[in-house]
Structure 1
Amino acid sequence: MATAVRLRQLGHTVKLIDIDPQWRVYGAGITVTAPTFRAFRRLGLFDRIVEHGACVIGHELFHYSGAPIHRFDDPELEPGLPAAGGIMRPVLHKIMSSEVRRLGVDVVLGVGAERIVNQPDRVEVTFTDGTTQSFDLAVAADGIYSKTRSMLFANAVTPTPNGQGSWRIVAKRPEGFTRTQFYVGHENLVGINAVSRDEVYLFILNPDPDRKWIEPAEQPAMVRALLADFGGAVAAIRDSVSQSSSIVYRPLEAALQPAPWHSGRVVLIGDAAHATTPHLASGAGSAVEDAMVLGEELERSGSDVPSALAAFTARRYERCRIVVESSLAIGAHQLARGPAARLGELMGAASHALAADY
C-alpha cells in the first residue's frame, strides 16, 4: 500500500491486487520506530498515524522481577519526530487503505498473479481470474512466502526459523505509561509498547525450537505460564489475561533474498525481499522506506525501468541486510542467555545504522 500511495503521488497509474477478497489484516499492535515515523511522514501519513496511535518519549529497561535498571530519553531523529510509538495493525491498515482509495488506485481484491512474463518493454501478468494485462512495472509485495520470488528467481530463498516464538497480547494501558518497557534477564524477553491512548501490547519472545502449534483455547494459560516469573507492569497484564484477551502467536522466521531484487521489470519489496524477525521493530518501516526509494529511483531513471530497479536494490540491500542479520543476532544472543550489556551493544549498533537516512 505504501508503494501504491507513493507511485500515485508521483503521477503513475497503479493497479493493486490482493488475494484476500476482504483485504483483511491480522495481528495485534505494531511498534513504530523513529526511522519508520520518518518514512511515514515523507509518505504523508504521519499525522493520521500519530492521531490514532501512540507516541513515547524513550525506553525503560527492567530486570524481569520488575526492578528498574535504566531509563533512556531518546534523541530526536528529526525535529518533531517521536522517539518511538505504536499503533494497532487494523487501524494502520484502515489509514493506508483509505489513502490508497482516495488517490484513485485501481484496487482489485480476491485476485492473485498466476503467471508473470517479462518482455523487453513491458511485463505481462496473468491473474487468477484468467485475465492478462501488460504493465511497465510489477511490484511484488507478497510476503515472506512470496510466490513471485519462487516463480522468477532461480536462487529464491526459503524462510529460516530462528528458534523463537512471538506472542502479542493487547491490554489496557498502565497509568503513567510514557516509555516503551523491556524486561530482561529471563529466557523470555518481554516488552510493552503503547498502541493508542488506552491500549498497549505486550510481546513475549520465547525459545520455541519445535515450532509447536498452540490451540487458541490453550493460549491464555500459556501466556500466563510464560510470564509467571515477571513483576512490574508485566505482572498486572499477566493477571488480566483471559479467554477473551486478544492474543497473537507465531514462530519467528527470516528470509533475505540475495541481490538483485528484480528480474526484468518485476521487483520484490518488503518481506518478499527482506523478511525480518521483530527484534528491531523495523519490518514495516523497511517496507515503507522501500516505497520511497523505489519512487525516487523511478523518477531519476525515467522510462529506463530496469536501471531504476537495479539502483533500488543497490540503495536498499545493505540497510535491509543490517535489519535482518542484526535481528537474527539479537535473537541468537537471547537464546544463548548472553549478557545484557552485549544485547545493548547489538541493539545500539543497529539502531545507530538505521538512524542514518535511507
Structure 2
Amino acid sequence: MTAAAQKVLVIGGGFSGMSAAIMMARAGIEVDLVEIDEGWRSYGAGISLHGATLRVFQELGILEEFKAEGAATSGLIVRMPHNDQVIVEIPTPSMPGIDLPGNAAIMRPALAAILARATRAAGVNVRLGVTFETLTQDEDGVELTFTDGTSGRYDAVIGADGLFSKTRALLLPEAPEPAYVGQAVWRAELPTPEGLETLSMWLGKGVKVGINPVSPGRSYMFITEDCPEDIWVEDADLLPRMKALLDPFPSPMLSAVKEGLSEDSKLIYRPLKGMLLPQPWHVGRVLLIGDAVHATTPHLGAGACIGMEDGLVIAEELQRHATVAEAFAAHEARRWERCAMVVNNSGRLSEIEITGGDQGEHNEIMGRSMRALAEPI
C-alpha cells in the first residue's frame, strides 16, 4: 500500500521530531527536517527514562547506542530524609524482548547526539538554523516559505517544535498557553553517591530530591521545589540556592552530594509548565505532536517517551492509510488516552506534593502509571 504522504516536512529537531523523521524516512517517505538552532543542541542535564522509552529506542534502532552511553537500573526507591533508610520500593517493569531493567537515564545531550546520528543515517534532509516563515495549505498539499529564503511543498507537515510551538500558534491561535504548575526543578550532574544503585528519592516539606544514574559512575540530581511564582534565577544564584534546598536533608548521601556541588556541576533551573490540548491536534494536513500538544511535568519521567511514541505512531499510520486525514485521525485516536494519562497523573503528583497530600496516593499513582506505560502503544 502506498503511504498517505510521499513527502513530509518535520518542524523541530527535538526528540519527537527526530523520532518521526527517522521512522518515516525508513518507510520510504521523503522527509525534510528544519531546526531553528543551527547547532542542533540539546540543553539540560540528565533525563529519566523507563521501560517504555527503552522500547521506543529499540524501535528506533538506537538501543545499543543507549546501552553504551546511558544507564539502566531496576526500581524506584523512596528513602528517609535523615538516614537514607528505604521507605518503599516501586517496581519499574522491564519490557518483553528488551534485556534491560525498567529504570534508565542518560544525559540529554548524549541522547540528542544519538538521535541526530540516526536521523541523518535514515536519509532525512536536515536543515539547521532554519524554520518556516509562512504556511498555507490546500486540499492537495502544504506550501511553506522558510527563513533562509527558500520554499517547498509537502503532502503533510509534522509540527514538533515544542512547548512554545510556532506551528501551534499559527494553526490554533486561540489555544491556551502552557501553564505554570507551581513547582520548579533544579538539576545537576555529579558522581554517583556511594551505595546508590538505582533511582532514589527523598521527600521533604515543599522539596523532593532525586538522584538517577546516567552512566557508569555518574548520576544526575533533580530537586523539585514548590514555588508559588514563576521566577527567574540568575546563574550566580544557582549554586547557593541549590545547596540551600538540600539543607533540610541530613541524609549521609545528600550531605555528601551537597558538599561536592560546584559551578562545574552543570546546574540548571526550570519552572515547570504543562498543557494538554483537546483534540483534534491537526488542522488540514498539519499535525502537532509532542510537547506542542501534550507537555507534561517530569513527575513520571515520561514526557520524552510519549513524544517519541508520537513519532513512531504517525509514521505507522501514514503507511496504513490512503489519505493524510485518515492517518491523522487514527494517530490521534491511538494517542489521546495514553498522553492524557501521563499529563493528568503527572499533574496530580505535582498537586499532592504542593499540598502535602497523601503519600500513599502518590506511590499508588506512580506504580499504576508505570504499569500503564508498559502496555502496548
Of 165, 168, 187, the residue aligned with 2:206 is 187
Cα separation, 2, equivalents of 1:261 and 1:71: 37
Q: 2:306 is matched with which residue?
A: 286
Count of matched residue pairs = 357
One-letter identity of the residue aligned with 1:12: I
Structure 2 gap segments, 5+ residues each: 1-17
Cα separation, 1, equivalents of 2:268 and 2:244: 16
- Alignment partner of 1:68 is 2:86: yes
Give the SS at the match of 2:215: coil
Contact persistence 1:169–1:245 (CA under 8 A): yes
Cα separation, 2, equivalents of 1:76 and 1:166: 27
Give the SS at the match of 1:175: coil
One-letter identity of the residue aligned with 1:42: E
- Alignment partner of 1:162 is 2:181: yes
One-letter identity of the residue aligned with 1:134: R
Contact persistence 2:70–2:214 (CA under 8 A): yes
- Alignment partner of 1:270 is 2:287: no
The offset of 1:196, in angstroms, is 0.7
- Alignment partner of 1:121 is 2:140: yes
Of 237, 258, 262, the residue aligned with 2:257 is 237
Cα separation, 2, equivalents of 1:104 and 1:267: 22
Cα separation, 2, equivalents of 1:353 and 1:323: 9
One-letter identity of the residue aligned with 1:201: Y
Q: 1:23 is matched with which residue?
A: 40
- Alignment partner of 1:207 is 2:200: no
Give the SS at the match of 2:175: coil
TM-score between both structures, scaled by the size of structure 1: 0.96
- Alignment partner of 1:78 is 2:78: no
Q: 1:256 is matched with which residue?
A: 276
Cα separation, 1, equivalents of 2:170 and 2:91: 46
Of 103, 106, 115, the residue aligned with 1:87 is 106
TM-score between both structures, scaled by the size of structure 2: 0.92
Cα separation, 2, equivalents of 1:195 and 1:73: 19
Deviations 1:90-127 (A, max 9, x none): 11111110111122211111111111112111111111
Give the SS at the match of 2:202: strand
Identical aligned residues as a percent? 39
Deviations 1:54-109 (A, max 9, x none): 01022211122223212345443324242111001111111110111122211111
Cα separation, 1, equivalents of 2:27 and 2:85: 51
Structure 1 gap segments, 5+ residues each: none
Contact persistence 1:168–1:204 (CA under 8 A): yes
Q: 2:163 is matched with which residue?
A: 144
Contact persistence 1:64–1:186 (CA under 8 A): no
Of 152, 158, 181, the residue aligned with 1:133 is 152
- Alignment partner of 1:37 is 2:41: no
The offset of 1:307, in angstroms, is 1.0
Q: 1:344 is matched with which residue?
A: 363
Q: CA RMSD, aligned part only? A: 1.3
Q: 1:134 to 1:75 in 2, by over 3 A?
A: closer
Q: 2:324 is matched with which residue?
A: 305
One-letter identity of the residue aligned with 1:171: L
Deviations 1:287-308 (A, max 9, x none): 1110111111111103x01110
